[in-house]
Amino acid sequence: MANEYNITDYSRLNAYRIMWVLVFFDLPTETKTERKYAAKFRKDILADGFAMFQFSIYLRHCSSRENAEVHIKRVKSILPEKGHVGIMCVTDKQFGMMEIYRGHAIIKTPDTVQQLEMF
């Protein structure tokens, strides 16, 4: 009986184990070269599975803290020379408590992404 989990306990543990990685940035775009680097950074994080949340805020669902660390390292490896980039990791529970508004109307927080894991 010691190895049995109550479904409520399992859901609660998952809410703290599943992570969201947020990358927010403000990159210079005054010159053609700066725009090129900003576009490349954006394309690279999109290629790593991030999705645009707002204009310069991107997020990615990760199944665990370890998986989040992999993606954080990837973002760090492609940081542009200039500009400001922030990386923040929050639990699924914290992410689910976010209030999002469009004008005065509250909109639903995005659902947790169902991600197939092969390994």
Write down the mean pLDDT value for the chain: 86
Condensed to tens digits (0 to 9), the pLDDT of residues 7-65 reads: 555 555 577 789 999 999 999 999 999 999 999 999 999 999 999 999 999 999 999 99
CATH of 7-107, one of 3.40.640.10, 3.90.180.10, 3.30.70.240, 3.40.50.10140: 3.30.70.240
| Domain map (residue ranges) of the chain | 7-107
Lowest mean pLDDT among 62-76, 82-96, 103-117: 103-117
- In this prediction, residues 73-88 reach a mean pLDDT of 96
- In this prediction, residues 80-88 reach a mean pLDDT of 96
User: Residue 27 and residue 30: Cα distance in Å, rounded?
Assistant: 9
What pLDDT, on a 0 to 100 scale, did the predictor assign at position 1?
A: 45
* pTM of full prediction above 0.75: yes
Which stretch, 71-75, 105-109, 115-119, has highest mean pLDDT? 71-75
What pLDDT, on a 0 to 100 scale, did the predictor assign at position 54?
A: 92
User: Residue 97 and residue 61: Cα distance in Å, rounded?
Assistant: 15
